[in-house]
Amino acid sequence: MANLNRLLKKKTRLKQKYRQLVEDAYNFRQTDHALSDFSEYKATKVLNKINKLKFVIRDNKLQAN
C-alpha cells in the first residue's frame, strides 16, 4: 500500500509540473517561439510519464484486490 501511495504522490507532482510547462509554453508563444516549443516538448515528455504511471497504478490496484 505504501508503494501505491508513493506512486500517487509522484503522479500528482508530475501533473503539477505538466500544467506549469503547458502554461509556460502558452505564455512564451507570443515572445519566444523556440522557448515555447521546448516547453511543449518537455510537457509532452512529462505527459508520457504520467500515462505510464496511470497504467502502473491501475495494475497495482488490480493486484491489491
Digit-by-digit pLDDT tens for the chain (65 residues) are: 778 899 999 999 999 999 999 999 999 999 999 999 999 999 999 999 999 999 888 877 767 66
The grid cell for 21 is 510547462
pLDDT at 2: 78
The residue type of 38 is F
Residue 42: which H helix or E strand, with range?
Answer: helix 33-64
pLDDT at 14: 97
At which residue does the C-alpha cell 505564455 appear? 27
- Spell out the residues 6+ positions from residue 57 whose beta carbon is closer than 8 angstroms to its own: 4, 7, 8, 11
Cβ count within 10 A of residue 43: 19
